Amino acid sequence: METKPPGYDEYLRMYMEMVSFAKEELKRRATSPVHVPREKIDREFAGHNWVLLVDPRIGFNSRIIRFWINGFPPGEAENKWQFMGHRHTVEAVIYVLKGYGYSIIDGVRYDWEPGDFLCVPVFAWHRHINLSNEDMVYVASTTGPLSMGIGVAIYEDERFPEYWVFAQKDTNEKKSLIPGAVEIPDAQRGIPEGIDPKEYAGSTAAKIYFDQLTFAEREEQARRGGKVLVKGKDLKFEKTPMGWVAPVVDPKLGFYVKVMSTCVAEIEPGKRSGAHRHLYEEVNHILAGEGYSIIEDKRYQWKKGDTLSIPVFSWHQHFSTGKEPARILVHTGRPAMENIGLMITQQGEVAD
């Protein structure tokens, strides 16, 4: 009689866990929430000034994007920032709903008002200052779940220095009143003293390794050269098979983003968007209008202030049924999936 080697059943179980993952994931997706009505914000915003709308920690099948609404009171002191603000190893796109003021991002001031977008690049020091006499309110999408999943989510906040990982207390940032106002690093700085690249001329392995040593400096230079602010008045809607779309934040538009992209879709009353599905997750926030969406086989009725979390590879199509055009703020994880070579988009019905 054949005997199993030690640990056979355990190995078989772990292997079958991988084989069955995709089908199990379909079941998890089918039972995770999709629609977040505006009433959740109405109920929870007061008192917290922060409501998580889409997050894996509250049951959503989202692995890349976190989406929330946030508010802070007028005045610089209220946010308790002194000099640096904070930074995080996640990308963030902010859409201003209420209030006006400015943000300092990597040492540069950007003035904003309702309808504007800010793209905070990964690990850029930033702080927001509300100059209006009402709360500043914004919705923000970040790539926090992805960074946490791969074990590199670092949030450094000047108010909590005990949690800093890289920001030493004696850095130039600490001396400056402007977060990020330190010199842009020299792309050669990653090569330690005592190593002369010329000694390795002709070595392909050494060339690959020197690229690795200087990667961070080159990326930081690229990051500081990326676009940050998009004024709402500059949105330009153009026709696509999915309907009228204004691209906002995209690596193809000169923003330093590798994971997330943002656009705004507009659907005239009585019209529909196209239908499609794709191997990236998407969060929709209704900025104006009302209507419904068909996501896979279910219908979700929505209005201004509602949010939809569209699971990976589920067919979706939107229908505008209100009196004014529907406007949908769309955040996706498309660039991340393109970068890891796992992106498929299939077009169904075309927009009318």
Tokens in use for 265? 């879709």
Report the residue number, 218 or 258, with the smaller CB distance to Fe ion.
Answer: 258
Q: Interior CA angle at 131 toward 51 and 160, to 5°?
A: 55
Minimum Å gap between C-beta 193 and Fe ion is 35
Per-residue contact flags (x/-) with Fe ion for residues 105 to 124, judged by CB under 5 A: --------------------
Report the residue number, 214 or 293, with the smaller CB distance to Fe ion.
Answer: 293
Report the residue number, 214 or 245, with the smaller CB distance to Fe ion.
Answer: 245
Residues 240-299 that bind Fe ion (CB under 5 A): 282
Minimum Å gap between C-beta 156 and Fe ion is 10
Q: By CB under 5 A, how many residues form the interface with Fe ion?
A: 1
Minimum Å gap between C-beta 278 and Fe ion is 6
| CA dist., res. 218 & res. 184, Å (int) | 10
Report the residue number, 220 or 282, with the smaller CB distance to Fe ion.
Answer: 282
Burial zone of 65 (CB within 10 Å; 0-12 exposed, 13-18 middle, 19+ buried): buried
What residue is closest to Fe ion based on CB? 282
Quote the DSSP letter at residue 272.
B
| CA dist., res. 62 & res. 312, Å (int) | 8
Minimum Å gap between C-beta 72 and Fe ion is 12
In the numeric block, the tokens 């026709």 are attached to 239
Report the residue number, 214 or 309, with the smaller CB distance to Fe ion.
Answer: 309
Q: At what angle do helices 204-213 and 215-224 cross, to 10 degrees?
A: 50
Instruction: Identify how many contiguous H helices and E strands the chain contains and give both numbers.
Output: 7, 23
Amino acid at 292: Y
Residue of 283, 344, 336 lying closest to 150 (CA atoms): 336
Minimum Å gap between C-beta 277 and Fe ion is 7
Report the residue number, 289 or 334, with the smaller CB distance to Fe ion.
Answer: 334
Residues 156-185 that bind Fe ion (CB under 5 A): none
Minimum Å gap between C-beta 22 and Fe ion is 20
DSSP string, 18-68: HHHHHHHHHHHHHHS--EE-HHHHHHHHHHHSEEEEE-GGGT---SS-EEE
Minimum Å gap between C-beta 276 and Fe ion is 6
Amino acid at 235: L
Report the residue number, 69 or 214, with the smaller CB distance to Fe ion.
Answer: 69
Alpha carbons within 13 angstroms on the beta-carbon side of residue 132 total 19
Footprint of Fe ion on this chain (CB under 5 A)? 282
